[in-house]
Chain A
């Protein structure tokens, strides 16, 4: 696989970028909601930073994806024999979420963050042309900011959940 030898390092950087992205999109959303009368001077810069970090995080995640798809999904989550060995080696209770469902949960993350990236780029472009204080475009502005923030939170939570499957035990 491409970049497989550097996968762990890339995953750590991807997680750090993801955490920063959550902070940026949340901060940006709060500023947009609070700027009803006057636009905060740094708000367009936050739109730029959020979309920049979104692109970087997405690209890094996309580079890692083939390794996940083969080494984690195909060789563990979608492989009944591997699951049986994993469950037999553990002493904890039965799993509450089966490995194939965990794999599909990760698919949810992929699609959410891809659409979140689209919304983030649209929001950045919007921030160059209008302001969240403009009543005509406020609905679109706030809607996109909420969507971006929600998708980054979902991405980080689902990503950490998936990555913790073997670290903290069980499939539940």
Chain B
């Protein structure tokens, strides 16, 4: 029964690139003002120093937990029927992790 952790990985990887690629609004934290706003990355009107990191990985955590829940339900429904392992899903999850890593590195590479 490896669908739940595999979907957790897939969801987290997609959630990590969603704010940058799909312009999903996230929480942006201004450490000097100690304020938070909900906006897309690079949205105008923000303070000079704004931390996007928390919002991006909060989005990733929410997506990971949402897809993990789907995986848990899928594993539960499929228990007793089949091996509970999908090589195709594994391939998708590892590919998503590789894409998320490449995407983030491409955006910040020095």
Contact = CB atoms under 8 A, between A and B. Distances in A.
B90 interface: yes
A114 B105 contact: no
B53 A65 contact: yes
B28 interface: no
Nearest to A102: B110
A67 B34 CA distance: 12
Given A62-B54, A111-B105, A114-B53, A137 B85 contact: yes
A135 to B, nearest CB: 10
B27 interface: no
Contacts of A97: 110
Nearest to B54: A62
Interface in A104-158: 104-105, 107-108, 110-112, 114-115, 118-119, 121-123, 125-126, 129-130, 136-137, 139-140, 143-144, 147
B51 A118 contact: no
A126 B93 CA distance: 13
Contacts of A147: 97
B5 A122 contact: yes
Contacts, number: 102
B32 A112 contact: no
B81 to A, nearest CB: 16
Interface residues of B, number: 37
A33 interface: no
28 contacts: A66-B29, A66-B51, A70-B32, A102-B110, A104-B108, A105-B110, A108-B108, A108-B109, A110-B53, A111-B101, A112-B104, A112-B105, A115-B12, A115-B100, A118-B9, A118-B12, A118-B64, A119-B9, A121-B8, A121-B64, A122-B6, A122-B9, A123-B5, A125-B8, A129-B4, A129-B5, A130-B2, A137-B90
Interface of A: 1-2, 62, 65-67, 69-70, 74, 97, 100-102, 104-105, 107-108, 110-112, 114-115, 118-119, 121-123, 125-126, 129-130, 136-137, 139-140, 143-144, 147
Interface of B: 1-2, 4-6, 8-9, 12-13, 16, 29, 31-32, 34, 48-49, 51, 53-54, 56-57, 60, 64, 83, 85, 87, 90, 93-94, 97, 100-101, 104-105, 108-110
A-B pairs, top 8 by smallest CB distance, nearest first, are A66-B31, A111-B104, A101-B110, A107-B108, A125-B5, A104-B110, A118-B12, A122-B9
